[in-house]
Structure 1
Amino acid sequence: MKISQKNIFGTNIVMKYTNKLFAFINKFLFVDFKVIKLKIYFLCLFSMLFFPNTFAQEPVTEQPVVPSYAVMEKVIENGDTLFIGYIRDVYIYPPIVFKNRKQEQFYWRTVRDVKKALPYARIVSSEIARVNRDLYYLPSDAERKKYLKTFEKEAFRKYEGGLRKLTVNQGKMLLKLIDRECEINTYDLIKAYKGNVPAFFWNVVAHFWGSDLKMDYDGGDKDRIVERVVTLVDAGQL
């Protein structure tokens, strides 16, 4: 998914909603240190949800969801009745040989964190597609602004509680998986919306909590274990 600098709502509207987003995050940052980690998660997740029009100007075609069970069809050929079942693909990987207990614990923590963070990364992609479709049919800027305001309240109401429950490691995993799903890291996201200085500032804040907004997802190398886990989770094998 490629990001575009074009904004059909105008720079003023983007800045207005971006400032509201940062005000919300700052409230968590300075009021309660127990929830300080939320600023990073909200930043990457809701910045994409609130401004989806800057991500894609073309309609998004949804892919069919493979069911977790076999769906039977009855087909009659030459007088014979055939039952056809559609099942998921099965992925076979070489067995993992853990050198020690620490490696094994790391692997199962990765499985846990992927299962927690992956749904939120998928939310970003699905919401971008949904909002773009809705905005396409709204005839005026006033109606689009009204729609985005309503959507903003709905997004916070729906996702705030779940994000509060994420651990620091699950928040880092969320950053990775958002880059996987949307093909852009969080640093570049902020840079596109707010410029170089805010992107630098928020990355410094992230470093205090052991994270890096510039980190890119590399499923073929450094994140190959994560990619393996995501594949197996999607296939229902984990």
Structure 2
Amino acid sequence: MKYLVSILLVFTAFNSKAQTQQDTIKLTEQDSAIFYSIDLNEIKILPNGEYSVSDDRKNFLILKRRVYKVYPYAKLTADKLTQLNATMAKLKTNKEKKKYFKIVEKYLEEEFEPRLKKLSRKDGQILVKLIHRQTGQSTYDLIKEYKSGWKAFWANSTARLFDINLRTEYKPYTVQEDFHIENILATAFEQKMLTKQEASTPIDVPALNKLWEEKAKKQD
């Protein structure tokens, strides 16, 4: 199932001829107040917790929209992986396991390929990160585990042509974009805008925010 999501992700970029997606944003009253106070373009704490520069608000909203779009696929990946492993454990022979895997793969292709093909490059990059957040494994490693190292190599080689690295991991403690993504998710979970699924490796959001605040102070 991991193989399905990742391979479709690669095909998304390939079939769309490296499509570019035009982002149109509408600012709402709710979006005008950012729920955490780190500037997107540079690490800077703002006293009122808001972005005073319109480009920063726009960048935040674009990122927020992308996270809302692809998070459900990452959650689905983790859910289906759990189900897949549970069922595989009950099957006795490799032939039965292979047959079951093919059935699941075919169903998911038919169900989700049309929607996944609409993802942009940047959507794909964020999806790869969130798959790692939800499963604890990179998309590359999941392809390697469930299909083969050869397929993982070629899938990643194709993805890299479109600026998607299937080896990418989710690192909110060291990568600024991932920090912003985690805060977007935390807010969405609290407001019940997205269905919460815990990260494979627990993330302490208050501690995460404090860490980035300290980083910001050191750069002042």
- Tell me how far apart the structure 2 counterparts of residues 107 and 144 of structure 1 sit (CA, whole Å): 43
- Tell me how far apart the structure 2 counterparts of residues 203 and 139 of structure 1 sit (CA, whole Å): 32
Task: Please say if residues 130 and 170 of structure 2, whose CA atoms lie closer than 8 Å, have aligned partners that are also in contact.
Answer: yes
Which structure has more RCO (C-alpha within 8 Å, separation ≥ 6)? 2
1:147 is aligned to: 100
Tell me whether 1:230 sits opposite 2:185 in the alignment: yes
Change over 3 Å in CA distance of 1:200–1:155 after alignment to 2? closer
Specify the code of the residue in structure 2 equivalent to 1:173.
I
Task: Please say if residues 28 and 36 of structure 1, whose CA atoms lie closer than 8 Å, have aligned partners that are also in contact.
Answer: no
- Tell me how far apart the structure 2 counterparts of residues 194 and 152 of structure 1 sit (CA, whole Å): 15
CA RMSD of aligned residues (A): 3.2
Q: CA offset at residue 136 of structure 1?
A: 2.2
1:35 is aligned to: 16
1:185 is aligned to: 138
Change over 3 Å in CA distance of 1:115–1:145 after alignment to 2? same
Specify the code of the residue in structure 1 equivalent to 2:148.
K
Q: CA offset at residue 229 of structure 1?
A: 0.5
2:56 is aligned to: 103
Q: CA offset at residue 212 of structure 1?
A: 2.3
Gaps of at least 5 residues in structure 1 are 1-17, 39-91
Q: CA offset at residue 115 of structure 1?
A: 0.7
Aligned residues: 160
Change over 3 Å in CA distance of 1:131–1:28 after alignment to 2? closer
- Tell me how far apart the structure 2 counterparts of residues 174 and 28 of structure 1 sit (CA, whole Å): 14
Output one character per residue of 1:197-222: Cα deviation in whole Å (capped at 9) or x when no partner: 76555444333322223322112232
Tell me whether 1:134 sits opposite 2:87 in the alignment: yes
Task: Please say if residues 11 and 117 of structure 2, whose CA atoms lie closer than 8 Å, have aligned partners that are also in contact.
Answer: no
Runs ≥4 in structure 1, deviation > 6 angstroms? none
Secondary structure, counterpart of 1:166 in structure 2: coil
Question: Which is greater in Rg?
Answer: 1
Change over 3 Å in CA distance of 1:33–1:174 after alignment to 2? closer
Gaps of at least 5 residues in structure 2 are 20-34, 38-47, 194-220
Output one character per residue of 1:54-74: Cα deviation in whole Å (capped at 9) or x when no partner: xxxxxxxxxxxxxxxxxxxxx
- Tell me how far apart the structure 1 counterparts of residues 154 and 119 of structure 2 sit (CA, whole Å): 23
2:125 is aligned to: 172
TM-score, with length taken from structure 2: 0.60
Specify the code of the residue in structure 1 equivalent to 2:16.
V
- Which structure: greater strand fraction? 1
Specify the code of the residue in structure 1 equivalent to 2:186.
T
TM-score, with length taken from structure 1: 0.56
- Tell me how far apart the structure 1 counterparts of residues 122 and 188 of structure 2 sit (CA, whole Å): 18
1:194 is aligned to: 148
Alignment of 1:215-226 (within 5 A): 215-222=168-175, 223-226=178-181
Task: Please say if residues 206 and 212 of structure 1, whose CA atoms lie closer than 8 Å, have aligned partners that are also in contact.
Answer: yes
Task: Please say if residues 140 and 152 of structure 2, whose CA atoms lie closer than 8 Å, have aligned partners that are also in contact.
Answer: yes
- Tell me how far apart the structure 2 counterparts of residues 206 and 28 of structure 1 sit (CA, whole Å): 8
Secondary structure, counterpart of 1:214 in structure 2: coil
- Tell me how far apart the structure 2 counterparts of residues 137 and 200 of structure 1 sit (CA, whole Å): 30
What's the % identity of the aligned pairs? 28
Q: CA offset at residue 190 of structure 1?
A: 4.5
The structure 1 residue matched to 2:159, chosen from 197, 206, 210, is: 206
